[in-house]
Copies of this chain bind each other. A is one copy, B any other.
Amino acid sequence: MTAAQELTAVPDQSGVDAAVAAARRVVASLLRAGGGSAVEMAQVAAQLNAVADHLDEHAPAMDQRMVDMWAGEGVTRHDPVTGPENAIAPPLNLTGVDDGTVEGEVVLGLPYQGPPGHVHGGISALILDHTLGVANHWAGASGMTAELTLRYRRPTPLFEPLTITGEQVEVDGRKIRTRGAITAAGEACVSAEGLFIAKHLPRPR
C-alpha cells in the first residue's frame, strides 16, 4: 500500500526544467537587485532577449506544442503553481496522502510579495485554487472552479516554510466542494472553500 503519492511533476535536474529553474532565479534576482544596482541592465536585457529569440526560433508549431502540453504527464508540467516548465510557479509540489488530503510545503520569495515582507493575497488565492483542483483529482472527481472564497486570517510570511493543504469535502451530483488552507508555523494564514463543477474543457489533439 502506498502511503503517499506525488501528484505534481517532479522537476528534472536537466533539460528544460533546469533552464526554467534558472529563469526562476533570474526573475527573483532582478527584483532583488532593483533599479539601483550597479549592474548594466541594458546588457542583461540584451542577453535575456537573445535567449528568448533563440528559444522562439526553435519552438515547435503552436498547435503541436499545445497537444504535447496536454498529453500524459504534461498536464502537471506547465501550470503556474506546480509546473517545473513554468518559471512563474514557485514550484509547489503536492503529495496525496491516504486520508484523502493533499499537502505540500513551499517557501515564497520576493516575486510573490504583496504587503511588505508578506505574500500577496492573490498569490495565496492562486496557490489554493490550484491545490483544491489537485485535491479533487486525488479524490477522483474533479472539475472547473465555479466559486472560490478565500478568508485571510493573518498575513502570510515570505521566506518561511508554508504548509499547503487541500481536501475534497463533498460530491453532490456534478457539484464538488473542496477546502484548503495555508499555514505558517502551525497557524492558519489563509483558508479557502471552493465549489467546482464536474466538467472539463477539451484537450487539444
- A: number of interface residues (CB 8 Å): 91
A155-B85 Cα distance, complex, nearest whole Å = 23
A27-B47 Cα distance, complex, nearest whole Å = 14
Min C-beta distance of A86 to chain B, whole Å: 6
A17-B36 Cα distance, complex, nearest whole Å = 12
A144-B79 Cα distance, complex, nearest whole Å = 27
A122-B127 Cα distance, complex, nearest whole Å = 7
Query: What B residues does A33 contact at CB under 8 A?
Result: 16, 55-56, 58-60, 65
Q: Contacts A52-B25, A87-B30, A126-B125 given; indicate if A116 touches B203 (C-beta within 8 A).
A: yes
Mask: chain A, 1-44; 1 = CB below 8 Å from B; 0 = not? 00000000000001111111111011111111111111101101
**For window 57-77 of chain A, which residues contact chain B by CB distance below 8 Å?**
58-60, 62, 65-66, 68-70, 77
B29 contacts A55, CB within 8 Å? yes
Q: Which residues of A contact B (CB under 8 A)?
A: 14-23, 25-39, 41-42, 44-49, 51-52, 54-56, 58-60, 62, 65-66, 68-70, 77-81, 85-88, 110-118, 120-123, 125-130, 133, 144-152, 155, 200-204
* Known A27-B88, A78-B113; further 16 A-B contacts with Cβ < 8 A: A16-B35, A16-B37, A21-B45, A22-B49, A25-B49, A26-B55, A30-B87, A36-B60, A44-B55, A79-B120, A80-B112, A117-B201, A121-B133, A125-B125, A126-B126, A146-B152
